[in-house]
Amino acid sequence: MSTSTSSKKTTRRKTNNILLLQKPWFKKVIKAVWILFLCVVIGVPLYVYTVKADLFGLFGGMPSLKSIENPQNDLSSELISADGVSLGRYFRYNRSQVAYEQLSPDLVNTLLLSEDHRFYDHSGMDFWAYPRVLWGLLTFNNRGGGSTITQQLAKNLFRTRGDELDGTLTRVGGPLKILVSKTKEWIISVQLEENYTKEEIITMYLNTAEFSSNAYGIKVAAETYFQKQPDSLNVLESAVLVGMLQNPSFYNPQRNPNNALRKRNEVLYKLYARNYIKSQAEHDSLKNIPIQLKFSVQNQNQGLATYFRSVLTSFLMKWCKDHNYDLWESGLKIYTTIDSRMQQFAEEAMAEHMSKLQKEFETQWKLKNSNPWTDSDTKAEIKNFLQRKIKKTETYKNLVARYGENSDSVNIMLNVKKPMTVFSWKGERDTLFSSMDSLRYYNWFLQAGMMSMDPETGAIKAWVGGINHKYFKYDHVKQGTRQPGSTFKPFVYGKAIEDGYSPCFELLDISPTIKVPGGVWNPPNSDGTYGSGEKMNLRVAMARSLNSVTAQLIAKVGPANVAKFANQLGISSPLDPVMSLALGTSDVSLYEMVSAYCSFVNLGMHIEPYYVTRIEDKNGNVIESFVPKTGQATDERTAYKMIYMLQGGVEEEGGSSRGISYSLKVDNEIGGKTGTTNDASDGWYMGITHNLVTGAWVGGDERTIHFPNWTFGQGSKTARPIWDKYMVKVYEHPEVGYGKGLFKRPASGLDIVLDCNRHNASDSTSVVPVEKEISLDDINN
């Protein structure tokens, strides 16, 4: 081509360009482009600035930079056992934090590849995703949002879609509110990226995400749906949970399994498409595996130590109020003395025995063709028992408020049958019950309580307050108090020994007649007789739980002194200083009884039971450590003599603890005391070893509910088997650290030889001053 030709073409092109620039429509296009450019370059930053500054209050406030640097997230407070196991949580939203190192690689990669595969390439906003989102909106083919993980975190942390950050414009709602909320998420996302590492953002996001079923955060979600910790989640489980992030309820695998399976498989395909799943065959294999749930919603009625957790709430709420924390949202770590393994043994022992005892209880009453609530005097069924009791319920009060107290509608509604799920020892069952049916059904159940404590440290190792916390809320360890029966007798004998009597001191098995205000007191023994007339020492008398000898002793030492002695050892309930106190007529709690028996095993040193060792804040800083209070209750020689006395129940002929399992006695020192109250309303057992003191109680919710005869309702049949089964389990697992052994001996030695088989009456009187010996005539006078 010649030079002249080329020059002509160039000239022609310039001429055409000049003509194009002169056209009106082209000028409009150029103007529009400049306006758009200026809007983007100047308008968008200006808009973002006005949102950030909340100009004229139009857009609503923004979280402060301080709150972004230190975001507050409501966290459940967690109870942790002595062996490091979570016992449960206190929560409004059940959430608990984990560190990045506690997230499985499968979980992290599934999250990133499915939700934000350019996460490590952006600084909070993924601009490459916005054209796709816009195209999806224009074509009505939504293929996912453009929010990054960081933006989702911003929404979770600061509730940008809620009303808390609303302004004048955003209160209008609709697209305008969404635009402003989205803008705030962009701003917060950039600030989050400036203040945190990518790993920290991933962790915070998973810790704040909702997973339905009252599970907030990946830790609780993994536990709720798979009974796992986040570091153990595999790719299938991770795909289920990551899939739930877009719509937790819709993709809930428990409620909507088909939706969840479809979503999980979509996530798996993304992992295959992005080469995390390496082959088509592997992808197809995984896709065909059904979702395998181990679903368990966490609440205060499930898990270990439910009664303990419930009772502990009042202590923790007071502590939190005094220290300016919110138990439900502060993320406290509460370290307890409870050993999860021993707690499991205790709950298993109670369930094993009570399920059989309940069957026997029902059999005995059905043979009598009667209900188990009976009058202690007439022995007949109490009429209108249920009618009187229903009036104390909220159901009755609500019906009265609706229909009026004398309306027939109240009675009609109380007897209307409706579907309900009820407790049974074979598992929950669905039935049709009226309110009256339900009341009658539940009043047929025997209740129980059990507590196990380390006598040297004061640490409570196991606490079972009832047979099922979901259906029976009342705690029978500390909340409930009942007559202890013969388990109170060791305090009478203990006071006598403190005053100088020997375990080998002898008295006649003859029930005294003692003058008391309003008449005389002449208690029979448990067999209904007033004694055999046999001479026996105190150890044998306590082993056989003879009322006759115990009555003589309280007359010698005085009921007021016995009450004071029991108080020193750990009984805090009011004790009536009357003669019948010897037989356990004043109500006490199982908690107090275990505490007091520990004073014997701890050689006279009373140590207050405690159940919290320390409390930490959400960052692991110790806020407070707890140390139990101690004090010398009686001298160590008296305490050890009482250990010897309690061993008599296991070793002496006719002792009430002779029937415990043989395996417990081998190479081991054990003491124990049974207790049974009038009409067998309460059955007790207190068992002691060198390093564990454990008490059990069994009875009805009402004192009028009991076995039809004393034989089946005595403590050796109702309560002792729980202790026995528990101790067998403890000894079968030496890893818990409570093996067999010998009781501690007094450092100063003993002032007598503790072997009553080598003593006769004259030997024992050499230990006790003559003036201490009181004849029956003296008692009567």
Supply the pLDDT for residue 22. Answer: 59
DSSP codes, 295-320: -----TTSSS-HHHHHHHHHHHHHHH
Supply the pLDDT for residue 751. Answer: 82
Question: What are the backbone angles phi and psi of residue 300, rounded to the nearest 5°?
Answer: -70, -10
| Torsion of the alpha carbons at 120, 126, 131 and 135, rounded to the nearest 10 | 90
Q: Sign (positive/negative) of CA torsion 98, 101, 106, 110?
A: positive
423 with 572, same domain: the answer is no
Q: Sign (positive/negative) of CA torsion 678, 684, 688, 694?
A: negative
Give domain status of residue 651, yes or no: no
Residue 411 has pLDDT above 50, yes or no: yes
615 with 475, same domain: the answer is yes
Residue 74 has pLDDT above 50, yes or no: yes
Give domain status of residue 355, yes or no: yes
Domain boundary among 299, 326, 342: 299
Supply the pLDDT for residue 157. Answer: 74
195 with 285, same domain: the answer is yes
Cβ atoms of 723 and 694 within 8 Å: the answer is yes
Please report which confidence band the pLDDT of residue 598 belongs to, taking 50, 70 and 90 as the band edges: very high
Share above pLDDT 70 across residues of the chain, in percent, rounded to a whole number: 80
Please report which confidence band the pLDDT of residue 763 belongs to, taking 50, 70 and 90 as the band edges: very low
Q: Which of 501, 515, 483, 480 is nearest to 778 (CA)?
A: 515
Give domain status of residue 106, yes or no: yes
Pairing verdict, β 77-80 and 333-336: parallel
327 with 428, same domain: the answer is no
DSSP 8-state symbol, 45: H
Give domain status of residue 596, yes or no: yes
Give domain status of residue 687, yes or no: yes
Residue 418 has pLDDT above 80, yes or no: yes
| Torsion of the alpha carbons at 87, 90, 94 and 100, rounded to the nearest 10 | -60
Per-residue pLDDT, averaged over 755-765, amounts to 54
Share above pLDDT 90 across residues of the chain, in percent, rounded to a whole number: 64
Supply the pLDDT for residue 710. Answer: 86
DSSP codes, 630-660: EEE-S-HHHHHHHHHHHHHHHHSTT-TTTTS
Please report which confidence band the pLDDT of residue 143 belongs to, taking 50, 70 and 90 as the band edges: low
Least confident of 227-231, 387-391, 602-606, 776-780: 776-780
448 with 492, same domain: the answer is no
Residue 772 has pLDDT above 50, yes or no: no
DSSP codes, 315-337: HHHHHHHHHT--TTTB--EEEES
Least confident of 27-31, 559-563, 688-692: 27-31
DSSP codes, 147-175: --HHHHHHHHHH-TTSSTT--TTGGG-HH
Give domain status of residue 739, yes or no: no
Instruction: Please count the structural domains in the chain.
Output: 5
706 with 600, same domain: the answer is yes
Please report which confidence band the pLDDT of residue 95 belongs to, taking 50, 70 and 90 as the band edges: confident
Supply the pLDDT for residue 176. Answer: 53
* CATH assignment of the domain containing 96: 1.10.3810.10
How many other C-beta atoms are found inside a 10 Å radius of the C-beta of residue 69?
12
Distance from C-alpha of 747 to C-alpha of 750, rounded to nearest angstrom: 9
Supply the pLDDT for residue 678. Answer: 87
715, containing H or E segment: helix 715-718
Please report which confidence band the pLDDT of residue 243 belongs to, taking 50, 70 and 90 as the band edges: very high
Over residues 444-456, the pLDDT tens digits come to 999 999 999 999 9
Please report which confidence band the pLDDT of residue 729 belongs to, taking 50, 70 and 90 as the band edges: very high
Per-residue pLDDT, averaged over 518-527, amounts to 90
Residue 20 has pLDDT above 80, yes or no: no
Domain boundary among 299, 331, 363: 299
Pairing verdict, β 86-90 and 535-537: unpaired
Please report which confidence band the pLDDT of residue 777 belongs to, taking 50, 70 and 90 as the band edges: very low
Average pLDDT, the chain: 85
Per-residue pLDDT, averaged over 529-534, amounts to 90
- Residue 314 half-sphere exposure toward CB, CA atoms < 13 A: 5
Domain boundary among 278, 299, 320: 299
Per-residue pLDDT, averaged over 371-399, amounts to 91
Supply the pLDDT for residue 168. Answer: 47
Supply the pLDDT for residue 302. Answer: 73
682, containing H or E segment: strand 682-688
Supply the pLDDT for residue 8. Answer: 55
Over residues 183-208, the pLDDT tens digits come to 666 777 777 788 889 898 899 889 88
Distance from C-alpha of 584 to C-alpha of 677, rounded to nearest angstrom: 8
DSSP codes, 355-424: HHHHHHHHHHHHHTTS-SBB-TTT-SBPTTHHHHHHTTSHHHHHHHHHH-TT-HHHHHHHT--EEEEE--
Over residues 313-354, the pLDDT tens digits come to 989 999 999 999 999 888 899 999 999 999 999 999 999 999
Residue 46 has pLDDT above 80, yes or no: no
Cβ atoms of 727 and 614 within 8 Å: the answer is no
Distance from C-alpha of 82 to C-alpha of 460, rounded to nearest angstrom: 10
Instruction: Mark 490-523 as b/e (b = at least 16 C-beta within 10 Å).
Output: bbbbbbbbbbebbbbbbbbbbbbebeeeeeebeb
Per-residue pLDDT, averaged over 662-675, amounts to 97
To 10 degrees, what angle do helices 105-115 and 198-208 make? Answer: 90
Cβ atoms of 467 and 445 within 8 Å: the answer is yes
Over residues 497-507, the pLDDT tens digits come to 999 999 999 99
214 with 355, same domain: the answer is no
Over residues 359-372, the pLDDT tens digits come to 999 999 999 999 99
Residue 526 has pLDDT above 60, yes or no: yes
Domain membership of residue 46 as a residue range: 3-53
Least confident of 284-298, 667-681, 688-702: 284-298
Supply the pLDDT for residue 85. Answer: 93
165 with 232, same domain: the answer is yes
Assign 3-state DSSP to the chain and report helix, strand, coil percentages, each to 5: 50, 10, 40
* CATH assignment of the domain containing 755: 3.40.710.10
Residue 167 has pLDDT above 80, yes or no: no
Could you identify the residue written with the tokens 């923790």?
316
33 with 127, same domain: the answer is no
- pTM confidence score: 0.76
Cβ atoms of 286 and 235 within 8 Å: the answer is yes
575 with 511, same domain: the answer is yes
Least confident of 96-110, 129-143, 148-162, 599-613: 129-143
Supply the pLDDT for residue 70. Answer: 60
To 10 degrees, what angle do helices 174-195 and 149-158 make? Answer: 110
Give domain status of residue 635, yes or no: no
Per-residue pLDDT, averaged over 414-427, amounts to 94
Residue 121 has pLDDT above 90, yes or no: no
Residue 59 has pLDDT above 50, yes or no: no
704 with 763, same domain: the answer is no
Residues linked to residue 700 through DSSP beta bridges, in sequence order:
446
DSSP 8-state symbol, 80: E
10, containing H or E segment: helix 3-21
96 with 232, same domain: the answer is yes
Cβ atoms of 722 and 482 within 8 Å: the answer is no
Please report which confidence band the pLDDT of residue 11 belongs to, taking 50, 70 and 90 as the band edges: low
Is the pLDDT higher at 583 or at 130?
583
Give domain status of residue 388, yes or no: yes
Distance from C-alpha of 655 to C-alpha of 238, rounded to nearest angstrom: 60
